[in-house]
Amino acid sequence: MSAPSFELIGIGNPIMDLLAHVPESFLTTHVAGEKGGMVLVDDTDIEALVARLGTGYAMTPGGSAANAVLGATKLGLRTTFLGKIGGDVTARDYRANFIAAGGDGSRFKHTAVPNGRCLSLVTPDGQRTMRTHLGAAMTLSPDELTAADFAGARHAHIEGYLMFNPALAEKVAATARAAGCTISLELSSFEVVNVARDWILSQLRKGVQVVFANEDEVRALFQKDAPYDAHARQLASYGGIACVKIGKDGAWVAQGSELHRIEPVTVARVTDTTGAGDAWAGGFLYGHLRGYSLAGAGTLGSALGAECVQHLGPAIPDVHWLRLRALAQSLK
Per-residue pLDDT of the chain (332 residues; tens, 9 = 90+): 456 799 999 999 999 888 899 999 999 999 988 898 788 898 889 889 989 998 888 888 899 999 999 999 999 999 999 999 999 988 999 999 999 999 999 999 999 998 999 998 989 987 889 898 889 999 999 999 999 999 999 999 999 999 999 999 999 999 999 999 999 999 998 989 999 999 999 999 999 999 999 999 999 999 999 999 999 999 999 999 999 999 889 999 999 999 999 999 999 998 888 889 999 999 999 999 999 999 999 999 999 999 999 998 889 999 999 999 999 999 98
Q: How far is Cα 282 from Cα 300, in angstroms, rounded to an integer?
A: 9
Q: What are residue 39's DSSP bridge partners?
A: 131
- Contact 103/115 with Cβ under 8 angstroms? no
Q: How far is Cα 282 from Cα 280, in angstroms, rounded to an integer?
A: 5
CATH class of 6-14+63-114+136-330: alpha beta
**296-325 per-residue burial string, b: 16 or more CB within 10 A, e: under 16:** bbbbbbbbbbbbbbbbbbbbbeeeebeebe
In this predicted structure, what is the pLDDT of residue 134? 85
Q: How far is Cα 297 from Cα 161, in angstroms, rounded to an integer?
A: 24
What is the dihedral angle through the alpha carbons of 294, 218, 240, 82, rounded to the nearest 10 degrees? -90
Domain boundaries, the chain: 6-14+63-114+136-330
Q: How far is Cα 175 from Cα 222, in angstroms, rounded to an integer?
A: 27
Q: Which three-class secondary structure state does DSSP give residue 38? A: strand
Q: What are residue 110's DSSP bridge partners?
A: 85
- Contact 97/63 with Cβ under 8 angstroms? no
Q: How far is Cα 137 from Cα 158, in angstroms, rounded to an integer?
A: 14
In this predicted structure, what is the pLDDT of residue 59? 82
